[in-house]
């Protein structure tokens, strides 16, 4: 091997053939990715084993060399996993760190592993395998969160609370219905995850630097060995494509945005002003100065991590936007964005699952709030339409006058006397009091997807069959 005779201190052992001297210290620093891409060691080794096996099967390398390569790679895997492997920044990245160690372990046969491949298709493969596995983890985490929400929804299918628009009391809903709204959101996230796994299920290896290779390789064989549906079709696109990373980040950003909205509700609901919920001790913290405080830190941090995750998406979109085909070194900056977002998302999903599972629902407070703010005004208007035959616009106006009267008397709609109500509209009868309670209000909303407890139970059943 020509490289073996070279002074590795002066030029790179892997590609330094035409270089007389080594890189400037600052060049080495800006160029190296080993600090973060060592996370890809398992995928790199798996990819190399599949590649070497295929090369031998195709008669491109000998079986003897292939066996040595695989044995050496397995040794490296256990060295890394037991913390004995020495990563070197001089060797730039995970690919060259592993290959250099392989050369030390098995000698010249190591130099045959890189036949018919390039680091360009190698990194595309390793990173794609990593992202695919991360998406599979995300799918499981989302299922856990959905499961917890279904349980809470079932417990609280009948628990009334105020429903809000503009964060102003709008109409009574059930807490179960509100929980099921989140099931829908996280269910869509999980569908996005599943679609993304399908999109990226193509093997990049064998695209080589960008143009494919003159060796008689079998890309279908490596694709199958690595668990991909099929090989990618265009070698230029393959080494310049980071859509799989962008899709992961887009999904993560949307999901984090959902988590952030939930976090915001938890923060609001746990205030003494709302008191809809009490967070468990396990998911809150105290204040070092104010002994009475119990802070929703976990929810706040989930809300904040959304900023990091959304930032990662914008960062990678911006990294990619000006790149001509095919590979450019800019693309090395893809990994930290994805690794950081993945860590934040995993943590956020797990923390939210814990918080939702643990939190105490204060049904009494929710019910009291549900009845305030004239939340059944729409029910009064609907009664006038249904029972007195008024056009909805007129009923809306009559109800508005009833609300103004209740406001003047500082009471709820249900506290107005029949005489008072009849002074506003003569058609009103005592039957009106049957729709002015929050229970009657939610029970009446039986439209498909509505808040009536039986409708909510139907939603839960639909999801249970699909979770
Ligand atoms: N460390 C590089 C990356 O992450 C590997 C690919 C390098 N390819 C190259 N032609 N320099 O993108």
Per-residue pLDDT for the chain (467 aa), expressed as one digit of tens each? 344 444 445 677 677 788 878 888 899 999 999 999 999 999 999 999 999 999 999 999 999 999 999 999 999 999 999 999 999 999 999 999 999 999 999 999 999 999 999 999 999 999 999 999 999 999 999 999 999 999 999 999 999 999 999 999 989 999 999 999 999 999 999 999 999 999 999 999 999 999 999 999 999 999 999 999 999 999 999 999 999 999 999 999 999 999 999 999 999 999 999 999 999 888 888 777 777 778 899 999 999 999 999 999 999 999 999 999 999 999 999 999 999 999 999 999 999 999 999 999 999 999 999 988 888 899 999 999 999 999 999 999 999 999 999 999 999 898 999 999 999 999 999 999 988 889 999 999 999 999 999 999 999 999 999 99
* Ligand 1 atom 12 nearest Cα: 332
Q: Which atom of ligand 1 is nearest to the CA of 37?
A: 4
- Residue 6 is predicted with a pLDDT of 43
Give distance in angstroms: CA of 185 to centre of ligand 1.
37
**Which of 329, 331, 335, 339 best tests ligand 1's pocket when mutated (most atoms within 8 Å of CB)?**
329
- Residue 406 is predicted with a pLDDT of 94
Q: Which atom of ligand 1 is nearest to the CA of 94?
A: 1
Q: Residue 438 CA to chain centroid, in angstroms?
A: 36
* Ligand 1 atom 7 nearest Cα: 119
Single pTM value for the model: 0.92
Mapped onto helix, strand or coil, the DSSP state of residue 22 is: coil
Give distance in angstroms: CA of 25 to centre of ligand 1.
19
Whether cis (ω within 30° of 0) applies to the bond prior to 337 is no
Give distance in angstroms: CA of 241 to centre of ligand 1.
13
Q: Which atom of ligand 1 is nearest to the CA of 92?
A: 1
Give distance in angstroms: CA of 228 to centre of ligand 1.
22
Q: What pLDDT, in 10s, does the model give residues 235-291?
A: 999 999 999 999 999 999 999 999 999 999 999 999 999 999 999 888 888 777 777
- Residue 4 is predicted with a pLDDT of 41
**Which of 97, 120, 205, 328 best tests ligand 1's pocket when mutated (most atoms within 8 Å of CB)?**
120
Give distance in angstroms: CA of 120 to centre of ligand 1.
6
Strand partners, 174: 160
Spatial distance between the Cα atoms of 424 and 429, rounded to a whole number of angstroms: 12
> How buried is 461 (Cβ within 10 angstroms: 0-12 exposed, 13-18 middle, 19+ buried)?
exposed
Strand partners, 171: 163
- Backbone phi, psi, residue 169, to 5°: -55, 130
Q: Which atom of ligand 1 is nearest to the CA of 33?
A: 1
Domain architecture of the chain: domains with CATH: 31-113 (1.10.275.10), 119-368 (1.20.200.10), 371-465 (1.10.40.30)
57 is catalytic: no
Give distance in angstroms: CA of 416 to centre of ligand 1.
75
Catalytic residue, chosen from 166, 272, 410, 447, is 166
Spatial distance between the Cα atoms of 247 and 102, rounded to a whole number of angstroms: 34
- Contacts of residue 398, defined as CB under 8 A and 6 or more positions apart, other chains included, come to 381, 384, 390, 424, 425
Catalytic residue, chosen from 78, 287, 328, 417, is 287
Q: Residue 154 CA to chain centroid, in angstroms?
A: 25
* Ligand 1 atom 11 nearest Cα: 329
Q: Which atom of ligand 1 is nearest to the CA of 93?
A: 1
- Residue 10 is predicted with a pLDDT of 61
**Which of 19, 41, 91, 123 best tests ligand 1's pocket when mutated (most atoms within 8 Å of CB)?**
123
Count other C-beta atoms under 10 Å from residue 366's C-beta.
Answer: 25
Give distance in angstroms: CA of 236 to centre of ligand 1.
15
* Ligand 1 atom 1 nearest Cα: 93
Give distance in angstroms: CA of 331 to centre of ligand 1.
8
Quick one: CA torsion of 250, 251, 255, 256, rounded to 10 degrees? -40
166 is catalytic: yes
- Residue 16 is predicted with a pLDDT of 78
Spatial distance between the Cα atoms of 60 and 47, rounded to a whole number of angstroms: 17
CB-defined site of ligand 1, < 6 Å: 33, 37, 93, 119-120, 123, 327, 329, 331-332
């Amino acid at each position: 091997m020509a490289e073996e005779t070279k002074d590795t201190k002066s030029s790179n052992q892997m590609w330094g053939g035409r270089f007389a001297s080594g890189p400037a210290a600052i060049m080495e620093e800006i160029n190296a990715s080993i600090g973060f891409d060592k996370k890809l060691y398992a995928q790199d080794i798996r990819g190399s084993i599949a590649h070497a096996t295929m090369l031998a099967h195709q008669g491109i390398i000998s079986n003897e060399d292939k066996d040595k390569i695989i044995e050496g790679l397995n040794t490296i895997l256990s060295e890394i996993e037991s913390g004995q492997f020495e990563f070197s920044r001089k060797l730039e990245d995970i690919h060259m760190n592993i290959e250099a160690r392989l050369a030390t372990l098995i000698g010249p046969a190591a130099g045959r592993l890189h036949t018919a491949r390039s680091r360009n298709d190698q990194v595309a493969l390793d990173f794609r395998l990593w992202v695919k596995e991360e998406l599979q983890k995300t799918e499981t985490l989302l299922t856990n969160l959905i499961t917890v929400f279904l349980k809470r929804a079932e417990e609280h299918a009948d628990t009334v609370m105020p429903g809000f628009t503009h964060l102003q009391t709008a109409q009574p809903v059930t807490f179960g219905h509100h929980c099921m709204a989140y099931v829908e959101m996280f269910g869509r996230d999980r569908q996005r995850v599943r679609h993304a796994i399908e999109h990226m299920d193509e093997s990049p290896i064998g695209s080589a630097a960008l143009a494919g290779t003159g060796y008689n390789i079998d890309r279908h064989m490596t694709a199958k060995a690595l668990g991909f549906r099929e090989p990618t079709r265009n070698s230029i696109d393959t080494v310049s494509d980071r859509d799989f990373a962008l899709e992961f980040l887009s999904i993560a950003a949307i999901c984090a945005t959902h988590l952030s909205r939930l976090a915001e509700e938890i923060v609001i609901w746990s205030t003494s002003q709302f008191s809809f919920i009490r967070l468990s001790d396990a998911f809150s913290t105290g204040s070092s100065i104010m002994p009475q405080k119990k802070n929703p830190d976990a929810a706040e941090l989930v809300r904040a991590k959304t900023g990091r995750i959304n930032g990662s998406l914008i960062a990678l979109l911006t990294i990619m936007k000006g790149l001509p085909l095919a590979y450019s070194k800019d693309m090395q900056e893809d990994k930290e964005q994805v690794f950081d977002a993945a860590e934040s998302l995993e943590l956020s999903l797990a923390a939210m699952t814990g918080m939702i599972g643990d939190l105490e629902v204060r049904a009494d407070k929710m019910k009291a709030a549900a009845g305030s703010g004239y939340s059944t005004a729409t029910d009064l208007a609907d009664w006038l339409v249904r029972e007195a035959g008024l056009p909805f616009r007129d009923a809306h106006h009559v109800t508005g006058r009833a609300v103004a009267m209740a406001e003047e008397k500082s009471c709820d709609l249900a506290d107005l006397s029949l005489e008072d109500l009849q002074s506003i509209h003569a058609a009103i009868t005592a039957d009106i009091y049957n729709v002015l309670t929050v229970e009657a209000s939610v029970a009446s909303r039986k439209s498909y997807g509505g808040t009536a407890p039986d409708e909510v139970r139907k939603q839960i059943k639909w999801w249970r069959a699909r979770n």
